[in-house]
Structure 1
Amino acid sequence: MQQNYNLCFHKSFIMKILLTIIGILAILIILVLIIALYSKRDYTVQREIVINQPVDKVFDYVRHLKNQDYFNKWVMRDPDMKKSFRGTDGTVGFVYGWDGNKQAGAGEQEIMSIDPNKQIGIVIRFERPFKAIAQAPITVEAVTTNQTRIRWRMSSSMKYPMNAMMLFADMDRLLGKDLQWSLEKLKGILEK
């Protein structure tokens, strides 16, 4: 009889511990969701670099989205990704679609506007790992006749409750290092 009592006591004790753990997790989840209600949803990340080439040469290269295969870190994460294209590359309305592995995800980017030798307006529509839309303009400006400053910006917002991720992740650091890597790779290509 004592053995049955001990067994029941242990089961009861384990159940209390499990219920306490579940209760604490539920409180933490509710707390994060409440904080997310009042947290920012928008973010902007921007990086720039100076390339030792004239502005027209830099602009002509970056306005063609297919060239991102050679310098965009996100595109390079899956060399076997499926790509699709609609329209004429380097012109308004051109769409570059991709469907890749877990790291690359799936989506498309479209040239929305072109201001020659100044800016390419690009919108990115992510499908996977989650749906989102980002503005990702690339801006160029002449520093000298043989030097060009290029800026690449990404702006987006996260819907509730996905914006809770921004409580734990520094978007500027996470995305910024990939933008910087991509710009340095671009510089290496154009300065050859």
Structure 2
Amino acid sequence: MPHFFSLTFACFVIILFSTINFSQFGGEKMKVLKIVLIVLAVLIGVIIILGFVAPKKYHVERDVIINAPKPLVFQHIKYWDNWHAWSPWAERDTIMTYSIKGTDGEEGSIYSWVGDPKITGTGEMVNTGIIENEEINYRLHFFEPMEDVSDGYLRLSEVDEGTRVVWAFYGTNPFPWNVVMLFMSLEKMVGPDFEHGLAMLKEICENEAAEAHQGSVQHDK
């Protein structure tokens, strides 16, 4: 893609020069024009070079330890309908509406939403793979305010304190977006939302686990 961009720019410069009547410019105007063209050429050159060296892949990941058994936690990430209770974006976007296509909790099911363009926009998530009580994989497709596609997953593992949940998303930034992302941090943009969502998931699961434990204690009595 950088090669295509540089070729396009070269053609643009050639066309630009062919349409300019340089005889109409005096000495000072010619100097200014040359400076402008040189600055423009240098700027485009820098962008092209950055396009080669800037990373094209991204990966953002957060995790949390939940004091609850894996099967209980998994029920809250397996079904799209349960995501609404701990989604940081659903909490923030009060006008967002969503719908589910297919069999919720199974591969191929789709979670679609329409919300505030400044917060959640419009998009969908497709369940691309699920391992019971272990992980769910999904493809995230934004339609508005701009189109973008990435992949994500939630993975569970048993630890001494309960269940560790890892939430991640990853993808590829083609040129020139990989250059743009040098000046923007996905870690700072998405990381805090993942942390907040996992904190809400933790609260929901631990409250449910505590209630279940309390109920079993009372039953034993």
TM-score, scaled relative to structure 2:
0.71
Q: Deviations along 1:94-142, whole A, 9 cap, x unmatched?
A: 1001122222121100111111111111111122232222111110112
- Extract structure 1 runs of 4+ deviating beyond 3 A: 16-30
2:81 to 66, 80, 83: 66
- Partner in structure 2 of residue 173 of structure 1: 188
More helix by share: 2
- Identity of matched residues, %: 31
- Distance in 1, Cα, partners of 2:89 & 2:40: 34
Q: Secondary structure at the match of 1:74?
A: helix
The unaligned stretches of length 5 or more in structure 2 are 1-27, 208-221
- Partner in structure 1 of residue 119 of structure 2: 103
Give the total of aligned pairs: 180
Contact kept in structure 1, 2:80 and 2:100, CA below 8 Å: no
- Partner in structure 2 of residue 123 of structure 1: 139
Shift of 1:76: 2.9
Q: Secondary structure at the match of 1:90?
A: coil
| Superposition map of 1:24-63 within 5 A | 24=39, 27-28=42-43, 30-63=45-78
Structure possessing the higher relative contact order (Cα contacts under 8 Å, 6 or more residues apart): 1
Could you say which structure has the larger radius of gyration? Answer: 2
Contact kept in structure 2, 1:37 and 1:161, CA below 8 Å: no
The unaligned stretches of length 5 or more in structure 1 are 1-12
Change (3 A) 1:29 1:48: same
- Partner in structure 1 of residue 22 of structure 2: none
Q: Please tell me the residue identity of whatever aligns with 2:169.
A: M
- Distance in 2, Cα, partners of 1:67 & 1:25: 52
Q: Comparing 71-80 with 155-164, which one deviates more in the overlay?
A: 71-80
Q: Secondary structure at the match of 2:55?
A: coil
